[in-house]
């Protein structure tokens, strides 16, 4: 049996990830991340010029727990593209370096800076 807060958080999360093409649930905001992992993922997205919606889980305990239940993933940040859970910091880092994130953005119709993505790979190659 779910309580009203869990149900409400689930609905808000679903509405958010379906209303916006790219959503990052993170600690802090894209302009002021409040943890290293959130900072890394937001930094990659910002550097690549991706227009994304940030959700600060520190502002809402129901969302902070709810997103973990929603994705069945224990950690934050969590990246969603076109309503689908992509992964957390390690997965996004690996996908950026392998070029998989570029492919995901291309197939999802998400605009990003290909040159910036290449620079990230060159710097970490």
Q: What is the CATH number of the domain that holds 110?
A: 3.40.30.10
Q: What is the pTM of this model?
A: 0.94
State residue 125's pLDDT score: 80
In tens, the pLDDT along 55-112 reads 999 999 999 999 999 999 999 999 999 999 999 999 999 999 999 999 999 999 999 9
Q: How far apart are CA 30 and CA 63, in angstroms?
A: 17
6 band by pLDDT with thresholds 50, 70 and 90: confident
CA-CA distances (angstroms) from residue 99 to 46, 51, 80, 91, 106?
16, 18, 17, 12, 11
124 burial via Cβ count (<10 Å: 0-12, 13-18, 19+) = exposed
Q: Over 50: is that where the pLDDT of 1 sits? A: no
18: tokens are 């379906």
Percent of the chain with pLDDT over 70: 98
Distant-in-sequence, close-in-space partners of 108: CB < 8 Å, separation ≥ 6: 21, 81, 82
Structural domain count, the chain: 1
Q: Which domain holds residue 43?
A: 4-123
Average pLDDT, integer, range 38-64: 97
Instruction: Give the closest residue to 48 by CA, choosing from 116, 2, 102.
Output: 116
């Amino acid at each position: 049996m779910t309580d009203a807060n869990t149900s409400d958080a689930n609905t808000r999360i679903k509405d958010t990830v379906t209303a916006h093409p790219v959503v990052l649930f993170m600690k802090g905001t894209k302009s002021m991340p409040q943890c290293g992992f959130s900072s890394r993922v937001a930094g990659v997205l910002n550097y690549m010029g991706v227009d994304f919606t940030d959700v600060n889980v520190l502002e809402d305990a129901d969302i902070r727990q709810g997103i973990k239940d929603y994705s069945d993933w224990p950690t934050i940040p969590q990246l969603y593209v076109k309503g689908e859970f992509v992964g957390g910091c390690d997965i996004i880092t690996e996908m950026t370096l392998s070029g998989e994130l570029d492919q995901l953005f291309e197939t999802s119709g998400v605009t990003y800076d290909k040159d910036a993505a290449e620079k990230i790979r060159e710097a970490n190659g």
